[in-house]
Structure 1
Amino acid sequence: MLAHRTTLFKSSGTAAARVAAKAAAASGRDIIDLTAGEVWSDLAPSVRDGAIAAINRNLNRYTDTVGLLELRQALASKISAETAQPWSVDEIAVTSGAKQALFNAAMALLTPGDEVLIPAPYWSTFPAQVGIAGGTPVFIETRNSNYVPRLMDLAAAVTSKTKAIVVNTPNNPTGTIYDRGTLAGIAQLAIDQDLWIIFDECYGAFAHDPHTHQSIVSVAPGARDRTLIVNSFSKSLALTGWRIGYLAGPAPVISAVKALQSHTTSNPNVIAQHALLHFLERGDPAFQLQLRRQVTKARVLGLSILSALSLVPPPAAQGGFYFYLDLTELLRCTNRPGRKFTADDVVNLLMDAAVATVSGTAFGDPAGVRLSYGVDLELLDRGLRLLTAALNAWTRTIDCKAPAIEEG
């Protein structure tokens, strides 16, 4: 018999969508896969050179559990520059990707019964890891406020059991970037209610004009001692398969994380660590500029194509590399007595049209669909045109003058 904790979560919805896309392709179908949370790119030259140099030096032994001292020093300098706050090596843990950083944070902070506020739609790993740690996720609906949590809703959800707030900006899946006022308000709420802030900024390298990404620590320095910063290089350097990230926070938390990590994975991959150190020491501005231009070009192309959608408003796509389609009006017009459509139905319709997407149900939202625009531009163009044609064809069969079905 399996442990009870296995009933608290299921496989990642985004991973399941990727598997479905691959299975369809393996069956011989020409599927355009817009499910993956990654940018298609070659390696950054400095990362490749650093990895090759480490291999040539026969670097194959353990490092410190939470990463090379030199790498943590480089990361402390990076975060200090980004937040305008001083950070030291004993406040940094290098992890096997952002998922391990989040897992470490949940295990170090939460005791059974603790509640964690999570704005919805949310990345499915947030509530899953809270549950594994024995905590209870409390979801804050944001669909009616442009996918940004209202401070009044967060404050109303706080109870004597609330331990932390998850802040994910730029947001996965919605692409929303929280403004300074929202960040300052969340920080003040955390200070007033003695809460931790888990600040996930993994998509921070991709903020699209006129929007800018800002660290909650730089906006509200008073929240510095209650904030855990989670980041990785999976997105910013297109290194999803390398599994290298970090957690930054107060030294006592990092000390607890070090002990925990010593009994789980131990140190992250040594070659990836040296490759990243090489990048941080030398930089690679040409590569980073090229990657940002690639993502920006894809965003512009995608928004142009998606503007032809009926009953689906243009996605915000303020940051990251996802288009998140709000299907509320489309589904309202589609629903009839005895048949209520959800995002899952739309995803199935799109798969029939040879486009693989991720249903919003994976993110706690039955009325959304996520599309990645980190793919090859030609594939993106074809995929979004097929998607637009399929949804508009469906729309033409709908009499939207019919009254909406009452909920309940």
Structure 2
Amino acid sequence: MAPRRRVQGREEWPEGLHKKAVRGVDRYFFRNEKGKDVFFPEGTSFIDAYHAAQSYNEMYRDPASIFASKLDKYNRPLIDWGKVIIGRVKSEEELGENAFNTFVKDVERLNVLFGHVLSKEITSEHATDYLNHYCVEPGKSKNVYNRKLSFLNKYFDYLMDEQGVDIHPSSGKKFKMIKREEKKKDRADLDKDAYLKIYDAAPLWLKVAMSICLQSTHAVKELHRLKHKLMKPKEGECGCVWFKEPKQTWCDISKQNVMTFGTMYIHRHKSQHKKSSFVAIPITPELKTAIDLSKTDRLVCPYIVRRKPIKNNKISKYCDHRFQMTSNNISRGFSDVRDQLGLFDHLPKERRPTFHEIRRLSAKALKSSGQNLTQRMAHADENTTRIYTDTHDVEWVEVAPLSVNL
């Protein structure tokens, strides 16, 4: 089917000549061999547009290539291939919700620029134009460029597999090298004093979210899905399974019994397809206190982090209860209180600590206890955990007072 079949009555129009309504007025336009649309002046008659298109084709288009493109069913507009590739990525790759949505948005961006171009007319110049358009704006980092290039590589890999292109358009393009100093975490840490000040000024629901994050080390994607009670742990859900009576549970780290009231089961959203994403956290007295604090709002809702909405808006697509909060609302609420207190006004907004920094504060506090944080934080490897526990301070390693005697 490619290029698209002519509308009935336009079968004999010259290659590249089209018509569409622009602001309620029918306009003729011509699509050249590079896929660029050129509109004829308003009021141009059909016969003038016909002859102009025919003359262009005779001078610049190869009649054999025009005929071949009509016979090649794989040479379709890029916008048609986008739907096919999105379908394949969804069915063949185990991407998380955020990663898949980002891929779909990148496909849409590509379609905005080149959706009308036939796939086998896409060249490396189109790939360069895409990267320049979305990655060379002021403030765009090398990471953004590398992510967009990774997207193009994946997209055209699928397109080659579908025989939509003969030559990989982004093949050979180099990723931008990120220097060691550019990899350093730019966001400021959240210290104990700042945490306590924000906690004291926070509304009830934010106090609950902050406390549970501090005790569990888990982030907003899990907190907003936490339920007060689960009958049994289940894949894709986060919540608490309570004991009928509190139990004394032996802790190998502290070498003593700890009172536990149940288990908080976390299925981490970001790494949901990995075995390490399933975590069972004993509910200690401190964690139970944070959960019980939620009940003081007297709202009837199965979720722990909740609030009564101010406006009568529709329920978010990420929620299934009117009082349930989205992860964005939790993060935004923390940042609002932080800025109202003026604790980090000396820093630009992009460097001020966010709600996620509570996770780092918790990890650093637990590290000294000997807890296996990689398991607790549902990380796939220790390198990821080290991002949270490494300090930015210079640590001097003291060595033994030895001398060399030859």
Q: Which band: TM-score by shorter chain?
A: under 0.3
> Over alpha carbons, which structure has the higher Rg?
2
TM-score normalised per structure 2: 0.24
The one of the two structures with greater contact order (alpha-carbon pairs below 8 A, sep at least 6) is 1
TM-score normalised per structure 1: 0.24
